[in-house]
């Protein structure tokens, strides 16, 4: 029983970690509107020469920052409710 409890806690931690890491790969950044994307650097005034969001590496989901925050926080709210 103690070993099963240990595995439950390990699985729970790994799930929390994986959600935070994989959401970066799941979001389609080229289809969402980015905040503060002025096209100029704020510190030295240089123009960006390349878009940091490569469409080839985009994920399938057009989640904006609010949806991403809700998905990540849903794990923590579910964790609090079930404990």
- Reading the block at residue 3, the tokens are 């070993």
Q: What is the pLDDT of residue 48?
A: 56
Q: Structural domain of residue 57, as residue ranges?
A: 2-82
Check residue 55 and give its pLDDT. Answer: 63
Burial grade of 27 (CB within 10 A; 0-12, 13-18, 19 or more): buried
pLDDT tens string 10-69: 888 888 788 888 888 888 888 776 655 555 555 665 565 555 556 667 788 899 999 999
CA 62/CA 26 separation, integer angstroms: 9
User: Which residues fall within 8 angstroms of residue 44, CB to CB, at 6 or more apart?
Assistant: none
Quote the number of domains for the chain.
Answer: 1
| Tokens at 30, concatenated | 């080229």
Q: From CA 70, how far away is CA 23, in angstroms rounded?
A: 12
Please determine, for residue 71, whether its predicted confidence score (pLDDT) is greater than 60. Answer: yes
Structure confidence at residue 82 as a pLDDT band (50, 70, 90): confident
The pLDDT of residue 69 is 92
């Amino acid at each position: 029983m103690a070993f099963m409890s240990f595995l439950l806690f390990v699985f729970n931690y790994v799930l929390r970690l994986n959600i935070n890491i994989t959401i970066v790969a799941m979001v389609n950044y080229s289809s969402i509107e980015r905040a503060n994307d002025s096209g100029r650097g704020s510190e030295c005034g240089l123009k960006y020469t390349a878009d940091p969001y490569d469409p080839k590496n985009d994920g399938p989901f057009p989640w904006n920052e609010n949806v991403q925050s809700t998905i990540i926080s849903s794990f923590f709210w579910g964790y609090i409710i079930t404990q």
